[in-house]
Amino acid sequence: MSSVQQVLAAGPGALNRLRRSVWRRPRHGPELAWAIAFVVPYAAVFLAFVVYPVAYGLWMARDPSLYRELIANPLYAQTVVNTALFVGLGVNVKMFLALLLSGFFMRRRWWIKALLPVYILPWALPSIPAFVSFHWMLIGEEGFVDSVLSAVLGIAGPLWFRDRWLALGANIVAYIWKWMPFWTLTFYAGRTAIPQEIYEAAAVDGASGYRRFAHVILPLLGNLYLVCTLLSTLWTIGDFTTVSLVSEGAPSYSTDVLATLGIHYAFEGAQPALGVAAVMSALPVLIPIVILLMRALQTRETQL
């Protein structure tokens, strides 16, 4: 969903501009009929495959007793903790490292320039092969990580998917590995958009290293960082693939997140309504994030 993020990142401004032009010149007659005919195919897709599933999902999860059943199961509380850790740690560590690394890639050394195409490989790779490989690296003593541990350090590595915290950590690491390059490139683009004169002025004033980061880069990239973090949080709450392929929820569903728990309930437990309720219980978190995001986008517009 990489490019999707830029839609929201640039959205409202574009739409406001559009709205002005719309009111200027409305059209009528046969042209209007054609215009409507052109919009109908997408409108039909939107109604049938977006609006209808949303409404159907809300209808499926309408019964309050579902939520009582959900909360009564200790698995749910555990899953909420896992989701909070997966999203909270995964997104924030990834974003912060991406911000730092974007500065690293700004340096003018030939080996750093050569490193960038290698570094974006995880982003270019489809998630399924990547996460299958992560699963296999950590499969146990025959996995690659434990083989390296025993060959280099001579110690027996742990059984990663037998321990809840190790398995959760593996999910987070795989997630960071996959998505950090994309956000690094985003921040890299943000840094290149900062006029060179500002860096030079800061250098003349004697700001370098940490002080340049704190007083020049953070204020200038702060809003971009906020918008990206909110977007990434939104997407990561709905992330199914990472957990479903890396730890597979092992050991015994203790590393599930809400997205995978919902699918487990619906397809292994044959309780689809409960599954929908499990994911819908994330709405109280999702909606404030969306509102915050809209606000952050608006302040960015007045800033620029």
Partner 1 sequence: MSTIAADARLATRTLSRARSSVRLRRYLRNAGTLVLSAVIVVWTLAPLYNMVLISLEPEGDVFTDHIWPRVPSVESFWGVLTQSHWYLEHFWHQFANSLFIGWMVTFFALLFGSLTAFAIGRMRIRHGWLVSNAALLTYVIPASFLAIPFYRIMQNYGLANNPWSVIAALVAFATPYAIFVFQEYGRSIPIEVDESARIDGASPPQIYLRIYLPLMAPALVAVGTYALLLAWNEYLYQFLLLSSKANMTVPVALAQFLSSDQSPWNYMMATAIIYAAPPVAIYYAFRRRMTSGLTMGGVKG
Please report, as residue ranges, which positions from 10 to 69 form the binding site for partner 1 (by CB under 8 A): 10-11, 13-15, 18-19, 21-22, 24-27, 31-32, 34-36, 38-39, 41-43, 45-46, 48-50, 52-54, 56-57, 60
Position among 73, 78, 127, 254 found at the interface with partner 1 (CB under 8 A): 127
Position among 86, 134, 161, 179 found at the interface with partner 1 (CB under 8 A): 134
Give the pair of three-digit tokens for residue 267: 């397809």
* Window 157-176: contact mask with partner 1 (x via CB under 8 A): -----------------x--
Asked whether 175 and 94 are in contact (CB, 8 A), the reply is yes
Q: How far is CA 88 from CA 91, 143, 260, in A?
A: 6, 28, 17
Which residues within the stretch 174-193 sit at the binding site for partner 1 (CB under 8 A)? 174, 177, 185-186, 189-190, 192-193
Helices 283-303 and 4-24 cross at an angle (nearest 10°) of 60
Using the contact rule CB under 8 A, the part of the chain among 69-77, 144-152, 199-207, 210-218 near partner 1 is: 144-152
Position among 72, 144, 195, 222 found at the interface with partner 1 (CB under 8 A): 144
Which residues within the stretch 215-244 sit at the binding site for partner 1 (CB under 8 A)? 224, 228, 234-235, 237-241, 244
Q: How far is the CB of 81 from partner 1 (least distance, A)?
A: 19
Is 111 a binding residue for partner 1 by CB under 8 A? The answer is: yes
Q: How far is the CB of 27 from partner 1 (least distance, A)?
A: 6
Q: How far is CA 16 from CA 7, 109, 228, in A?
A: 14, 42, 21
Backbone angles phi, psi at 200, to 5 degrees: -65, -45
Position among 132, 198, 201, 203 found at the interface with partner 1 (CB under 8 A): 132
Give the pair of three-digit tokens for residue 274: 């409960």
Q: Cα separation of 214 and 207, whole Å?
A: 10
Is 275 a binding residue for partner 1 by CB under 8 A? The answer is: yes
Q: Which is nearer to partner 1, 71 or 290 (CB)?
A: 290
Q: Which is nearer to partner 1, 142 or 197 (CB)?
A: 142
| Coil vs helix vs strand at 299 | helix
Position among 91, 98, 282, 296 found at the interface with partner 1 (CB under 8 A): 282
Q: Cα separation of 260 and 272, whole Å?
A: 13
Q: How far is CA 276 from CA 52, 141, 234, in A?
A: 14, 38, 18
> Residue 2 corresponds to which amino acid?
S
Size of the site for partner 1 (CB under 8 A): 114
With tokens 């195919």, the residue in question is: 41
Q: Which is nearer to partner 1, 138 or 168 (CB)?
A: 138
Asked whether 13 and 19 are in contact (CB, 8 A), the reply is no
User: How much of the chain is helix, strand and coil, in % rounded to 5?
Assistant: 80, 0, 20
Q: How far is the CB of 32 from partner 1 (least distance, A)?
A: 7
Q: How far is the CB of 70 from partner 1 (least distance, A)?
A: 14
